[in-house]
Structure 1
């Protein structure tokens, strides 16, 4: 029987990063993955492929909508080769997946293909696709089994016309009318992909606004921009039924007044969140407790009730984000090594990769008001930046929230070009307890989108932006 210092179950961003850090720290490490490719949801059917399609569709949108104004004339009709677009997406996925395999080999991590399940607290059974199995011994186990798309009880996902994000990434055609159930990150990103390619896109959201967990100002601005692009929204609507009739799908939803709408489309994308995935793990055999929401129960050290078993990523509490899982993976590896790592969950940023991009870190205005915190706010619109006007990316703004007395930055919320990258500046500043004035006195290169961060900090400091 093979024995390891650490066995990681699941090879998504949390799992493979954790395995790498364990190996760096000198542990004999194994990683178990049930699929033939490493990388989990993120690399195979999530973050990476969706961004590939977002970028491809963005290029097409620019070619059809903006090139002429830039002085770029393209002879003939511009067409979408959707088959090639999907093929390029898969090529990007394959490159990233092979990169993870290289990292496993480089760090001398044993990769075991199969379903990992507990025999007891120190033994994990690996069941392969051909039905054969082997059992390995582990001094420590890290559960990193991730999540799966959620649905509603009355919806039957057929993976053909009533689909999840997984199927939406590999369609054979551009939908005529894509009805999206759920106005969160995944639905909006995939919705914009197909909107750019010519689909009619309708979003049905139960809450009174899209991206409801983010600052309300971001939701308002993103709604305005996406409506301008042609996306339709039905907020404060509860889906009552989703039915397929041959090649068509009918979605019925009801608003708070009891009024019903019917949306007829050729595809319905169910995007109502994700659920922790522990199917087949046999956590009970190891004595590991799960919560009533199906999450693995952990303490502040990401340790389960069994001292040698840890859990990270989507399968535990908190935001289901790849980078959050990565931080937790490193945290657990260093904890096992006897180090004293830390994670500030308040400083884990959230991003929506639509265009304009949406990014945020820290507290929202709604959270500060609910907590009774006295704060000040400073905003700056991208349309006032020379760089934004030069690139024709003038939608959006940066908003900085700071403590009314100490000026410490409490939250940064932005929507606009490249905010997915700009948010790292805010995370860095807040990690070191920066004030709004600190940011306002830092030199920002001109002309850049980042100048909006400096200007918002000036607005928050004493309402003195330079370019507005």
Structure 2
């Protein structure tokens, strides 16, 4: 039986970062990946393909140019599913090649197969070629990720009623699409297909969407979606989903409303891929969604030598945070010193338009009883926004009135996931409103919105101080 300092199950963002980190510390590392190729959900069905699909749709539809040339402007008139998938496959091959090289360069061992626990240190691996063998690890890191939640009452058929993995393999771009679930994944795919001129309906049982995002940003985002004729149905649960003889899908809501559509995407949640691990043999158990409970600072589970990181531990379930969780978990697992997870990290939603946020929302600031002021800038106020033909886009910053420090930055619009890092840096370095007022930003850029929003807040804060003194 081969023994390793660290065995990592899964090669997604958390797994690969953990494996490389432990290897760089001189430890022997084995990565067990059940898929045929490394990369996990992030590379093959999640982050990379969905973002590549988004970029391809924006390019082929000429979406970014419609502000100048009108809604009928398109780079390619008849966009097929094959057009969307071609670029995605090239990107995935590149990602896998980079990862394979990274493992080889750092002498990380790989094994392809399904792992199950024999005890807390021993794993039985059924390799993809049928061979069964056992390996032993001083420490084990679970980075198995998640898979789409598929409830029994939804008649998935892989063609017209599908989950978020299957949507990447569709044969044709549907003329109409109903998305059940207005979480991050559902909203991303709903808005991507809307750019392809698919008639999209979003159905959500809750009264709103993206509840962790600043309310003003969600309101602006919602307005933009409805403005382009997307149907948003909130506060309505699903009674029944079926497919008739003509191939059309029928969704019956609890209130009796019926939605008829060519395709249904069920995207209401994901579950941890832990059911095949025999967790009980290692003294572990998962919750009802297959997630592992861990210490939020070390990512250690209830069993001392077993750690977990990435989507399998729950919120925030981001590729970026999963990488950092994997790195920190690996350092703790091999006995190396590790920093605490960052307090503030950016959250990116790759919808159309993008949403990105870092720090406290206005609602959270109110709940904490912090006196505050906000500064807001619209992208159309910037010269770059006008050059790009942007009619929408909003940047909002929340500042403490007492310390003048930045508490949160929230953006909806073109390039939001790139722009947020300026606010993230100021936030983590405890910067104040004066940073945005006194510093120079490249002109013309969308980043100039920080200057506009900073001045907006600074002026409001100054007026408030005058009133207080009077």
TM-score for the superposition, normalised by structure 2: 0.92
Q: Larger deviation: 441-450 or 263-272?
A: 441-450
- Is the CA contact 1:334–1:341 (under 8 Å) kept in the aligned structure 2? no
Displacement, 1:448?
A: 0.7
Partner of 2:10: 10
2:370 aligned with 1:408, yes or no? no
- Is the CA contact 2:270–2:289 (under 8 Å) kept in the aligned structure 1? no
Match of 1:356 among 353, 358, 372: 353
SS across alignment from 1:114: strand
2:110 aligned with 1:111, yes or no? yes
- Is the CA contact 1:289–1:305 (under 8 Å) kept in the aligned structure 2? no
How far apart, in 2, do the equivalents of 1:369 and 1:79 lie? 49
Q: How does 1:155-194 map to 2 (within 5 A)?
A: 155-194=154-193
Partner of 1:223: 222
How far apart, in 2, do the equivalents of 1:206 and 1:443 lie? 46
Query: Is the alpha carbon distance of 1:274 and 1:293 closer, same or farther for their aligned partners in structure 2, counting shifts above 3 Å?
Result: closer
Measured against aligned partners, the alpha-carbon deviations of 1:161-207 in whole angstroms (never above 9, x if no partner) come to 11111111121101121000011221122122222223111011122
Query: Is the alpha carbon distance of 1:364 and 1:351 closer, same or farther for their aligned partners in structure 2, counting shifts above 3 Å?
Result: same
How far apart, in 1, do the equivalents of 2:15 and 2:62 lie? 37
Query: Is the alpha carbon distance of 1:326 and 1:241 closer, same or farther for their aligned partners in structure 2, counting shifts above 3 Å?
Result: same
Partner of 1:22: 22
SS across alignment from 1:92: helix
Partner of 1:277: 273
Partner of 1:134: 133
- Is the CA contact 2:291–2:313 (under 8 Å) kept in the aligned structure 1? yes
How far apart, in 2, do the equivalents of 1:360 and 1:63 lie? 23
Displacement, 1:460?
A: 2.2
2:93 aligned with 1:94, yes or no? yes
Match of 2:389 among 389, 392, 411: 392
Displacement, 1:312?
A: 0.4
Q: How does 1:234-249 map to 2 (within 5 A)?
A: 234-246=233-245, 247-249=247-249
Could you tell me which runs of 5 or more consecutive residues in structure 1 were left unpaired when the two chains were aligned.
none
How far apart, in 1, do the equivalents of 2:86 and 2:414 lie? 27
TM-score for the superposition, normalised by structure 1: 0.93
Q: Larger deviation: 106-115 or 196-205?
A: 196-205
Match of 1:447 among 444, 449, 455: 444
Displacement, 1:135?
A: 0.7
SS across alignment from 2:217: helix
Q: Larger deviation: 175-184 or 431-440?
A: 431-440
Displacement, 1:120?
A: 0.8
Partner of 1:264: 260
SS across alignment from 2:169: coil
- Is the CA contact 1:64–1:78 (under 8 Å) kept in the aligned structure 2? no
Displacement, 1:63?
A: 6.7
Q: How many residues align?
A: 458
How far apart, in 1, do the equivalents of 2:458 and 2:410 lie? 16
SS across alignment from 1:120: coil
Measured against aligned partners, the alpha-carbon deviations of 1:353-381 in whole angstroms (never above 9, x if no partner) come to 12321100111122222233322111111
Which runs of structure 1 show a deviation greater than 4 angstroms over 4 or more consecutive aligned residues? none
Displacement, 1:433?
A: 1.6
Displacement, 1:153?
A: 4.7
Displacement, 1:65?
A: 6.1
How far apart, in 1, do the equivalents of 2:20 and 2:402 lie? 43
- Is the CA contact 1:202–1:233 (under 8 Å) kept in the aligned structure 2? yes
How far apart, in 2, do the equivalents of 1:10 and 1:100 lie? 13
SS across alignment from 2:118: strand
Partner of 1:55: 55
- Is the CA contact 2:33–2:111 (under 8 Å) kept in the aligned structure 1? yes
How far apart, in 1, do the equivalents of 2:74 and 2:108 lie? 50
How far apart, in 2, do the equivalents of 1:294 and 1:69 lie? 48
Match of 1:369 among 336, 359, 366: 366
Partner of 2:147: 148
How far apart, in 1, do the equivalents of 2:449 and 2:150 lie? 39
Partner of 2:312: 315
SS across alignment from 1:234: strand
How far apart, in 2, do the equivalents of 1:440 and 1:127 lie? 60
How far apart, in 2, do the equivalents of 1:82 and 1:148 lie? 23
Measured against aligned partners, the alpha-carbon deviations of 1:316-362 in whole angstroms (never above 9, x if no partner) come to 14211111110101111222342131112x41221111232110011
- Is the CA contact 2:65–2:389 (under 8 Å) kept in the aligned structure 1? no
Task: Supply the RMSD in Å over aligned alpha carbons.
Answer: 2.2
Could you tell me which runs of 5 or more consecutive residues in structure 2 were left unpaired when the two chains were aligned.
463-470
SS across alignment from 2:5: strand
SS across alignment from 2:171: coil
